Amino acid sequence: MTTKTRARVRNRGVSSVFTAVVIAIAVAVGVAAVAITWPMIKSNFDKSSWAGSMGLYKIGFTYTKSGAYAYAQNGVSAPLGSSPSPVGYCLAYQVNATTAIYSCPSNQPTG
Amino acid sequence: MTEPIGFIIAMVILTTAVVIGLYGYWAYANHVTLQNYLWPIAEVVPYKGSYYLAIVNTGYEPFVVKQVYLSGGSTISANTKPLTHNQWWFTETSQLPTAVKVCSAIDPRVCTVVSVHGWAMAEVGVPPDAILVVVEGSNTQGQGRLLLRGSGNCPWSLTWYGWAGNSISGTGNLTFLIQPVYGEVHFIPTNLVGPSEASPGSVVIFNVNCPSNNGLPPWLW
């Protein structure tokens, strides 16, 4: 085998190893990218779902034998006071016998 | 001899570039993910001439309230304790708050700005099988001004009959339900001014009419 031929064979070996390493790195990068990206994608979905549920969050008011009550979602209720206090994720208080003022996540923004 | 060295150098450069790139992407993804899980809700209602602002953490990532943006363009700096799930923070402002900036308690560089939800008025509903009776010392229908001096000491009583019957007496404000009731109820008020009858699901308002005022013009009360 001449020196030229030996060099050609060695070159071929090196480029095979190079290709194998590049492929291995590419696969590792792909796996890592998916592993990193997935929580971010999931967090986007979770945030959209949360924003949707908050956009529908409402409150109602009614009298009972024990006084005026505020009813928020998920079975949350509390007596209406004369100063603002939380009821579920809303803020509410009674201004007179028949009127309440409230702010809920479904209300329009002030700004 | 030079080829293996060149190969090793190329591998080191490639691996370093990949690691740096992945780290940068990981840091960015972490930032976005954490920001997406900051779930503050800010609400405001008018109260006693100012604005009552409340912020609640509806998520599970703790955060601190950093700044409140007001309608006049100014801001209020705040540095609250970390709010965990369902914890509230309240403050009062003289100007209308429009937005709030909160930052993660885990990584303070991760922040988000949210709008403040405004307020609305709602009627406190009366059950369909009840009548809400409101006895007031203050005016609600434009005629109470004539009625009220000394009403706190003015004894009144109210008797009702019809679908339901009973009576109640007092000396000041009172709100109560007549329940259950499925037809008209008639009233016999003493020292009260109000309607003579009511239907289920309605609100009736009585104003205290103190007898000591009888016969005297309002400017002499």
Give the pLDDT mean for B139-149: 37
Test B127 with A102 for CB contact under 8 angstroms. Answer: no
Residue B148 pLDDT level (bands cut at 50, 70, 90): very low
According to the model, what pLDDT value does residue B217 have?
Answer: 52
Which tens digit of pLDDT belongs to each residue from B185-205?
999 999 999 999 999 999 999
CB B109 within 8 A of CB B180: no
Which tens digit of pLDDT belongs to each residue from B63-109?
999 999 999 899 999 989 999 999 999 999 999 999 999 999 999 99
Tens-digit pLDDT string for chain A (111 aa): 677 777 777 667 767 887 888 899 899 999 999 999 999 999 999 999 999 999 999 999 999 888 899 999 888 999 999 999 999 999 999 998 889 999 999 999 987
Between the CA of residue A57 and those of A52, A53, A60, B67, B74, what are the distances in Å? Answer: 9, 6, 11, 25, 30
Share of chain B above pLDDT 90, in %: 71
According to the model, what pLDDT value does residue A10 have?
Answer: 67
Q: Return the exposure string of A1-28: e unless at least 16 CB atoms fall within 10 Å of the residue's CB, then b.
A: eeeeeeeeeeeeeeeeeeeeeeeebeee
Test A62 with B96 for CB contact under 8 angstroms. Answer: no
Between the CA of residue A58 and those of A63, A79, B1, B34, B43, what are the distances in Å? Answer: 17, 16, 76, 27, 13
Higher pLDDT residue, B51 or B150?
B51
Q: Return the exposure string of B190-218: e unless at least 16 CB atoms fall within 10 Å of the residue's CB, then b.
A: ebbbbeeebebeebbbbbbbbeebeeeee
Higher pLDDT residue, B212 or B190?
B190
According to the model, what pLDDT value does residue B211 have?
Answer: 67
Question: What length does chain B have?
Answer: 221
Residue at token pair 């990981």: B26
CATH class of B39-117: mainly beta
CB B56 within 8 A of CB B40: yes
Q: Provide the number of CB pairs (under 8 Å) joining chain A to chain B.
A: 171
Beta carbons within 10 angstroms of residue A111's beta carbon:
13
According to the model, what pLDDT value does residue B79 have?
Answer: 86
Phi, psi of B139 (to 5 degrees): -75, 130
Of A46, A84, A109, nearest to B118 by CB-CB distance is A109
Q: Which of B176, B170, B219 is nearest to B198 (CA)?
A: B176
Per-residue pLDDT at B52 exceeds 70: yes
Name the amino acid, one letter, at A79: P
- Supply the pTM of this predicted model: 0.81
CATH 2.60.40 location in chain B:
39-117
According to the model, what pLDDT value does residue B78 have?
Answer: 93
According to the model, what pLDDT value does residue A13 have?
Answer: 72
Chain B: residue nearest A68 by CA?
B124
Residues of chain B neighbouring A33 (CB-CB closer than 8 A): 22, 25
According to the model, what pLDDT value does residue B141 have?
Answer: 38
CB B188 within 8 A of CB B194: no
A52 CB burial (10 A radius; 0-12, 13-18, 19+): exposed
- Chain A touched by B110 (CB under 8 Å): no
Q: Which helix (H) or strand (E) holds B148?
A: none
According to the model, what pLDDT value does residue B215 have?
Answer: 47
Of A61, A93, A96, nearest to B45 by CB-CB distance is A93
According to the model, what pLDDT value does residue A68 have?
Answer: 92
Average pLDDT score over chain B = 87
ipTM of the shown complex: 0.85
In degrees, rounded to 5, the angle at the alpha carbon of residue B80 between the alpha carbons of residues A110 and A54 is 40
Test A29 with B41 for CB contact under 8 angstroms. Answer: no
Beta-sheet strand order (sheet of B197-198): B166-170, B156-162, B185-190, B197-198
HEC states along chain A?
A: CCHHHHHHHHHHHHHHHHHHHHHHHHHHHHHHHHHHHHHHHHHHHHHHHHHHHHHCCCCEEEEECCEEEEECCCCCEEECCCCCEEECCEEEEEEECCEEEEECCCCCECC
Sign of CA dihedral B202, B208, B211, B214: negative
